[in-house]
């Protein structure tokens, strides 16, 4: 007779649970190991007065989001579309896209 | 107690044997379930760790930055501003900063040119630059190399790379080019005594908001940016991105929810017959429900644990490979960085509740309905 299914399940869950708990141990280990890098970045940011992470370097308002005002994504020219993926997930404010009155109905002769 | 344990073990034996009879279907379910937990946990771990990292790295960023706006656009700070702001009571240290962007046509990337503050102890000699590690890697530069940039006025400037900023600080310095004040002014053709913006520190941290209000009154065209706003911006950026990813994922999650609900709540004819037979041979309603509880618990717990472990490895051991293209966007210069694991126990508990609990409940309810009906009726369908 082979090993009971319940015993196999208990063994499986014991292993997986041990792995789950070990992720927390690993997190503590990595935190200690990577503390130096974090401190170095923090020190450089403090010394140079840096305000932003260099994660999104494609445009000025994505490189330094904290230094850009709310409208900088639309400043390239009047009616500019936002064209970078970093910001394209965010719609422009409603007031900028609302429709204006249709003037063509008021013209007396067709164009 | 021993009898109870033996009974549960017997129920688990039976449940697993029953699951094994529909192996492909149940393995498929476990796989999809694990994948959903993996995606949710990856997003959760990644955004939480990144926003914590941003908070820690930027906790010593300048207390107040003052920009000048003209027609809604960022403009240079004229010479008298430093002196006027310096007169505000409570302002402790005030310095003009010089920084700007330069587009490099070779790499098709933007660099951030910056002059280190005198007290940063990172002074760069004239004719030399210190560059970020990502830029050095992309342009193949090492200390001692020379690089030329064509300035916006059309003149060509050559700089010698004096040093590369530490690899470990790439997250904040990927595209940085540090140069001397004289070189910066010549390169960008900056008018004398004008600055990009002003940084200042405040004697009493509780007074920061008051100082900002005074600044806005004294110089109505100025825009003060407080450190707390910088930190809040990052928090909201990552919350926003987490939200967006979750919205995109929600389609997949809903599809899974329907699939799991269908699988868990809609009993197949075979399962109904099984329950009928169990009841006919003397199983009690409670036993049938317990058996099904074990089925739900085993599947959902296995999916949660496997999905979470995979997500942890993905984010902290494999540098979030799957998210890199999303984060990168169009950025040519993308820093190599390793996130410091910050795991929020509350978030893990929430994920556990939202993934394990609904499935366990969904398996029990229909079984309870089938189990309380007459075995003969159940078997006949």
pLDDT tens digits, one per residue of B212-234: 888 888 888 888 888 888 888 88
Q: Most confidently modeled of B1-10, B178-187, B231-240?
A: B178-187
The reply to whether A39 falls in a domain is yes
Window A:54-83, CB contacts with B under 8 Å: 54-60, 62-67, 69, 71-72, 75
Which residues, in sequence order, are bridge partners of residue B101? B112
Question: Which CATH number is associated with domain B63-226?
Answer: 2.40.40.20
Count of domains forming chain A: 2
**Using an 8 Å Cβ cutoff, are B256 and B33 in contact?**
yes
Task: Give the Cα-Cα-Cα angle A88, A89, A91 (nearest 5 degrees).
Answer: 80
Nearest to B97 by CA among B184, B2, B157: B184
Check residue B291 and give its pLDDT.
83
Residues A69 and A58 in one domain: yes
CA distance B127 to B143: 13
How many CA atoms within 13 Å lie on the side-chain side of B103?
7
What's the whole-number mean pLDDT along residues B7-12?
Answer: 86
Task: Give the Cα-Cα-Cα angle B153, B159, B161 (nearest 5 degrees).
Answer: 145
Mean of pLDDT over chain B: 85
pLDDT < 70 stretches in chain A? 1, 69-111
Check residue B182 and give its pLDDT.
93
How many CA atoms within 13 Å lie on the side-chain side of A95?
1
Q: Where are the domains of chain B?
A: 2-58+233-380, 63-226
Residues A62 and A35 in one domain: no
Check residue A94 and give its pLDDT.
54
Confidence of residue B264 (pLDDT cuts 50, 70, 90): low
CA distance B325 to B237: 17
B320 interaction partners in chain A (CB closer than 8 Å) = none
Q: Which two tokens stand for residue B139?
A: 């342009």
Under an 8 A CB cutoff, do B110 and A57 touch? Answer: yes
Name the region of B176 (left: φ>0; alpha: ψ -120 to 50; beta: rest). Answer: beta
The reply to whether A110 falls in a domain is no
- What interface predicted TM-score (ipTM) does this complex get? 0.77
CA distance B118 to B348: 45
Residues A17 and A2 in one domain: yes
Check residue B312 and give its pLDDT.
95
Residues A42 and A29 in one domain: yes
What's the whole-number mean pLDDT along residues B231-246?
Answer: 76
How many CA atoms within 13 Å lie on the side-chain side of B292?
28
What's the whole-number mean pLDDT along residues B360-366?
Answer: 75
At residue A2, φ and ψ (nearest 5 deg) are: -75, -175
Q: Of the ranges B40-54, B139-153, B268-282, which one carries the lowest mean pLDDT score?
A: B268-282
A4 interaction partners in chain B (CB closer than 8 Å) = 9, 13
Residues A44 and A9 in one domain: yes
Confidence of residue B6 (pLDDT cuts 50, 70, 90): confident
**Using an 8 Å Cβ cutoff, are B128 and B162 in contact?**
yes
B247 vs A75, residue with greater confidence:
B247
A13 interaction partners in chain B (CB closer than 8 Å) = 301-302, 305
Residue B294: pLDDT over 90? no
What's the whole-number mean pLDDT along residues B167-196?
Answer: 91
Q: How far is A110 from chain B (nearest CA, A)?
A: 39
Check residue A90 and give its pLDDT.
45
Residue B101: pLDDT over 70? yes
Q: How far is CA B290 from CA B4, B243, B274, B351, B368, in A?
A: 12, 37, 15, 24, 10
The reply to whether A67 falls in a domain is yes
Residues A75 and A93 in one domain: yes
Q: How far is B377 from chain A (nearest CA, A)?
A: 31
The reply to whether A106 falls in a domain is no
Check residue A87 and give its pLDDT.
52
Give the alpha-carbon dihedral of A28, A31, A36, A39, to 10 degrees.
-130
Check residue B128 and give its pLDDT.
93
Nearest to B336 by CA among B353, B323, B315, B319: B319
- pLDDT tens for B306-328 read 999 999 999 999 988 887 777 66
Nearest to B164 by CA among B154, B177, B155, B153: B177
Residues A28 and A44 in one domain: yes
Check residue A92 and give its pLDDT.
47
The reply to whether A109 falls in a domain is no
Tell me the residue range of the domain where A24 lies.
Answer: 1-50
Q: Which two tokens stand for residue A40?
A: 């170095």
Check residue B327 and give its pLDDT.
67
* Residue A77: closest C-alpha in chain B: B73
What's the whole-number mean pLDDT along residues B254-283?
Answer: 76
CA distance B171 to A76: 27
CA distance B3 to B205: 65
CB–CB contacts below 8 A, A to B: 205
Check residue B20 and give its pLDDT.
86
Q: Which two tokens stand for residue B43?
A: 């997003």
Residue B114: pLDDT over 80? yes
């Amino acid at each position: 007779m082979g090993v009971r299914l319940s015993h196999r399940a208990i063994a499986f869950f014991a292993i997986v649970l041990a792995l789950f708990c070990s992720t927390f141990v690993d997190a503590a280990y990595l935190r200690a190991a990577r503390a130096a890098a974090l401190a170095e970045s923090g020190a450089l940011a403090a010394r140079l007065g840096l305000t932003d992470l260099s994660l999104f370097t494609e445009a000025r308002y994505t490189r330094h989001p904290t230094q850009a005002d709310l409208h900088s994504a639309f400043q390239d020219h009047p009616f500019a579309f936002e064209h970078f993926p970093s910001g394209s997930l965010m719609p422009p404010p409603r007031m900028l896209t609302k429709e204006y009155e249709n003037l063509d109905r008021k013209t007396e002769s067709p164009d | 107690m021993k009898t109870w344990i033996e009974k549960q073990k017997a129920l688990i034996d039976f449940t697993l044997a029953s699951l094994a009879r529909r192996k492909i279907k149940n393995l498929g379910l476990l796989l999809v379930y694990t994948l959903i937990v993996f995606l949710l946990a990856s997003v959760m771990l990644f955004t939480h760790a990144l926003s914590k990292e941003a908070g820690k790295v930027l906790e010593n960023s300048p207390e107040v930055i003052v920009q000048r706006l003209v027609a809604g656009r960022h403009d240079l700070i004229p010479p008298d501003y430093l002196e006027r702001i310096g007169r505000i009571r409570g302002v402790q240290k005030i310095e003009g900063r010089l920084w700007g962007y330069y587009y490099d046509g070779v790499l098709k990337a933007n660099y951030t040119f910056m002059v280190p503050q005198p007290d940063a102890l990172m002074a760069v000699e004239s004719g030399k630059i210190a560059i970020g590690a990502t830029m050095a890697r992309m342009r193949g530069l090492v200390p001692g190399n020379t690089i030329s940039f064509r300035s916006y006025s059309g003149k060509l400037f050559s700089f010698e790379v004096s040093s590369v900023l530490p690899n470990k600080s790439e997250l904040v310095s990927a595209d940085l080019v540090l140069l001397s004040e004289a070189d910066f002014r010549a390169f960008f053709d900056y008018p004398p005594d004008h600055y990009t913006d002003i940084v200042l520190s405040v004697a009493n941290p509780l007074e920061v908001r008051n100082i900002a209000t005074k600044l806005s009154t004294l110089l109505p065209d100025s825009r003060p940016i407080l450190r707390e706003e910088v930190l809040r911006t990052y928090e909201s950026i990552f919350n926003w991105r987490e939200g967006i990813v979750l919205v995109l994922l929600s389609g997949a999650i809903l599809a899974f929810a329907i699939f799991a609900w269908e699988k868990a709540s809609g009993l197949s004819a075979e399962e109904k017959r099984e329950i009928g037979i169990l009841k006919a041979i003397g199983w009690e309603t409670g036993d049938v429900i317990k058996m099904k509880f074990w089925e739900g618990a085993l599947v959902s717990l296995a999916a949660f644990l496997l999905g979470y472990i995979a997500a942890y490895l993905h984010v902290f051991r494999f540098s979030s490979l799957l998210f890199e293209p999303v984060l990168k966007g169009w950025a040519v210069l993308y820093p190599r960085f390793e996130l410091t694991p910050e795991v929020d126990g509350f978030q893990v508990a929430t994920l556990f509740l939202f993934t394990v609990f609904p499935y366990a409940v969904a398996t029990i309810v229909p079984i309870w309905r089938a189990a309380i009906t007459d075995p003969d009726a159940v078997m006949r369908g």
